[in-house]
Structure 1
Amino acid sequence: MDVLWLWCFLDRPAPAEAAWPFWCEVTRSRLSARRGERAEFATLLPEAGDPWIKLQETAGTCRTHLDLDVEDIPTAIAQAEALGAQVIQRTTQGYAVLASPGGFTFCLTTWDRSASRPRLGPTLLDQVCLDIPPRAYAAEVAFWQSLLTAQVLPGRVPGFALLAPARELPLRILLQRLDADAPAVNAHADLACANRSQAVAEHEALGATVVAEFPHWSVLADPAGARYCLTDRDPLTGRLA
């Protein structure tokens, strides 16, 4: 499938005011006008370049999902189904909701022909990590590799692999093999940090909570309770420092 742009969607329970100002601050973005039947959607508009992060106010729990922009949604649906995806919802509003073989929700959306790279900074939300139960790992890796026509590159840390699509996209997709089982594949956002300890302090001052510390990353929870990671990766290259 020719995926032309990737979006990181941060789904947060209502009220949006619990988390949206936080994400504006940490991504150095401004909030677009709210849209949707319940004004439940907004986009984070960066200082330069096209946006790649969207926000959704939901009635459910915190979640991170991906939107894949494609030229033709019916063709993309057929390709995804042939690879093992299940269609959850078909709409007449320019998108479809699907689930990967491991149960991760993603959307196929209409490309608006935005294609410039996002801006860079000392801290950059540039990666979505799929947290995959051991039983689903092989099938999930094969699915995303084929869907994005990507190479699978082993990570420097055991249990991780990186997808490398042929087309340059604003988001990296990291595949993590969990140690314990889980009902379905989930995901979280990763931010590359030029100075992780400084970034942690800044995020705490804005309302985040440190959950755990590891040699190469810190796990935090945003003001809505959603977990994400600050990582020792170069914001320019995405690689571990």
Structure 2
Amino acid sequence: MRVRWVTGFLDTPSRVAEPFWQAVTGSRLSARRGPGGEFATLVPAGGDAYLRVQVVGDGPARAHLDLHVEDVAAQAGRAVGLGAAVVLDDGELVVLRSPAGLLFCLVPWQGEAVRPAGGRSLVDQMCLDVPVGGFDAEADFWAALTGWPRRAGSLPEFDFLLRPDGMPLRLLLQRVGGTAAGMHLDLACTDRAAEVAWHRELGAEVVGGYERWTTLRDPAGRAYCITDRPL
């Protein structure tokens, strides 16, 4: 599969966190779409959009990926052959579930190609949190699905997929305990302490501090991380 673009979706039972993510990303909210106005795009100051918000009917607040491809039906069939299961096919997009249970969508590519630049920080990574027992199978699935090579991370609990130049989100895979897989967004920044302080002023809550990253929850309770990675 040739993934032409990647979008990170923030799925939330309400709109409570939308002003927070607008501030964090320096973006504006597009006109709302969908029967109930549940969808909107975080439009960057420059480049093509790669972050969207969705009001969902259930909780908790979470995240998912859209992979933009040229032939949705063909690539959905390929994803199923690799071990994914179709959840919904509406004729334009296909919602699937990975072998570990992660929801993602295949959507039509609309010509997106220009990665937005960062300022003091940049949302540039989706972390796939995968229970240890199914980690290798899940990592191999995503590597095969995207065609991005799998590489060992700088710490033993992480692997990552080597994204093509210009792709807005890197995919990191983290070995976690428990039985449920999930996703969360990560930010790179120039000054982690200052960035964390700013996010707290905007309404985020710190839940854990580590040598290279800080874990927070946004106003909707969704976990994300601020990291020391360069922009």
TM-score (norm 2): 0.97
Q: Does 1:181 align with 2:178?
A: yes
1:165: how far off?
Answer: 3.4
Alignment-derived partner of residue 202 in structure 1: 198
Alignment-derived partner of residue 83 in structure 2: 84
Equivalent positions of 1:1-241 (< 5 A) are 1-14=1-14, 16=15, 18-61=16-59, 62-92=61-91, 94-166=92-164, 168-178=166-176, 180-183=177-180, 185-235=181-231
1:168: how far off?
Answer: 3.8
Would you say the 8 A contact 1:19–1:224 is kept in 2? yes
What's the RMSD between the two structures over aligned residues? 0.9
1:76-118 Cα deviation digits (max 9, x unpaired): 01110110000000102x2110000000000000111111121
Call closer, same or farther: CA 1:123–1:165 in 2, change over 3 Å.
closer
Alignment-derived partner of residue 238 in structure 1: none
Would you say the 8 A contact 2:114–2:166 is kept in 1? no
1:59: how far off?
Answer: 1.4
Would you say the 8 A contact 2:72–2:108 is kept in 1? yes
Which secondary structure state, in structure 2, belongs to the residue aligned with residue 165 of structure 1? coil
Runs of at least 5 residues in structure 2 that lack an aligned partner in the other structure: none
Aligned amino acid, residue 154 of structure 1: A
Question: C-alpha separation between the residues in 1 aligned to 2:166 and 2:105?
Answer: 19
Question: C-alpha separation between the residues in 1 aligned to 2:202 and 2:167?
Answer: 29
Would you say the 8 A contact 1:11–1:56 is kept in 2? yes
Identity among equivalent positions (%) equals 45
Alignment-derived partner of residue 239 in structure 1: none
Would you say the 8 A contact 1:101–1:140 is kept in 2? yes
Runs of at least 5 residues in structure 1 that lack an aligned partner in the other structure: 236-241
1:217: how far off?
Answer: 0.4
Question: C-alpha separation between the residues in 2 aligned to 1:87 and 1:169?
Answer: 25
Aligned amino acid, residue 200 of structure 1: V
TM-score (norm 1): 0.93
Aligned amino acid, residue 182 of structure 1: T
1:167: how far off?
Answer: 5.7
1:26: how far off?
Answer: 0.4
Aligned amino acid, residue 153 of structure 2: G
